Amino acid sequence: MDVEAPKDSDQRPAPPARGKAMQRFLVALNCGMLTLGTTGGPLLSRLYFSKGGHRKWLSAWLETGGWPLLLLPVAASYLSRRAQDPSALVVLTPPRILLAAAGLGLATGADDFLYAYGLSFVPVSTSAILISTQLAFTVFFAFLIVRQRLTALSVNAVALLTVGAVVLGLHVSSDRPAGVSKGQYWLGFLLTLAAAALYGLVLPLIELTYKRAAGGGRVVTYALVMEMQLVMGFFATAFCTVGMIVNNDFQVRCPCHSPLSPHSTRIPLGSTEPSALEFP
């Protein structure tokens, strides 16, 4: 007994260490996926529009269309809880928090559409700078909604980003894509700013929702966050799906010949030429 007691005490710190390592791994994984999406997504969207694509709702839908992938961590979390406690809840998030996440998802869907519409008329570099002004809107709304304290660094960053947006506005003709009129460029410019403003509002509201979820001594776990993100992604995608239906984006034209047929034709990326088959 005297020999085994120290052995047990030595093993107690191990689970927290493994838990901390898992938290760091999950944070690094999410940061990596976020970096990949924020850099590759705009490039692919702009390539689609530059090659003749015109379906803004489809481009917006693709921004959150991968929400079913979140079912994997949510299901894994539930199975882990079920293994430890057979009576574990299937959903950790309270209903009122899920309702708030649904509303945030609809706002995210609207933001996706504004961003996609703006990106169809402005180059990626301009869009990236305009979207970065989201920081200014986030600081402003965070101060109003969650009472976040302003610092000198945040104020300086807001000032620099604002100056950058103004400089872009004064040089409209220098970076306007070919085939885009001045009016269309300004429309894309303003819609991209609107997308930055709307998402700058959504982020503090998400933080406020997390604070409400943590009420009553509840811990905001990774599983709870994933459940909220799943609901937000679903409703954002549903919002864009309704827009696609209204805009008749499901009328996809495709070639009727087999790729193995010698008579098949290659359709360029983004082409809108009609073909023999049209699906409703």
**pLDDT for position 8:** 47
Four-point Cα dihedral 229, 232, 237, 243, nearest 10: -160
**pLDDT for position 110:** 96
φ, ψ for residue 277, nearest 5 deg: -110, 140
Paired strand residues for 121? none
pLDDT tens figures, 112-166: 999 999 988 988 888 888 888 888 898 889 989 988 887 787 778 777 777 776 6
Q: Is the pLDDT of residue 27 over 60?
A: yes
CA distance 60 to 115: 8
**pLDDT for position 2:** 44
DSSP state letters, 120-188: TTS-HHHHHHHHHTHHHHHHHHHHHHS-PPP-HHHHHHHHHHHHHHHHHHH-TTTSPPTT--HHHHHHH
Q: How confident is the model at residue 169 (pLDDT cuts 50, 70, 90)?
A: low
The kind and range of the H/E element at 278 are strand 277-279
Say what angle helices 182-213 and 152-170 make with each other, to 10 degrees. Answer: 160
CA distance 53 to 59: 9
pLDDT tens figures, 202-241: 999 999 999 888 876 677 888 888 899 999 999 999 999 9
Average pLDDT, integer, range 156-180: 71
pLDDT tens figures, 234-252: 999 999 999 999 988 877 5
Average pLDDT, integer, range 181-190: 89
- Whether 40 and 220 have beta carbons less than 8 Å apart is answered as no
> Angle at the Cα of 141 (from 183 to 63), degrees rounded to 5?
55
Contacts of 141 (CB under 8 A, 6+ apart): 200, 201, 203, 204, 205
Cα–Cα distance list, 121 to 3, 33, 90, 177 (Å): 73, 27, 44, 7
pTM of the model: 0.76
- Whether 237 and 109 have beta carbons less than 8 Å apart is answered as yes
Average pLDDT, integer, range 98-109: 95
- The answer for 45, left when phi > 0, alpha when psi is -120 to 50, beta otherwise, is alpha
CA distance 211 to 274: 52
Cα–Cα distance list, 150 to 138, 143, 198, 207, 252 (Å): 11, 7, 20, 16, 49
Four-point Cα dihedral 138, 142, 145, 150, nearest 10: -140
Cα–Cα distance list, 12 to 21, 75, 85, 114 (Å): 16, 28, 21, 52
> Any idea which residue has 């980003």 for tokens?
161
Average pLDDT, integer, range 45-55: 82
Comparing C-alpha atoms, which of 23, 24, 64 is closest to residue 221? 23
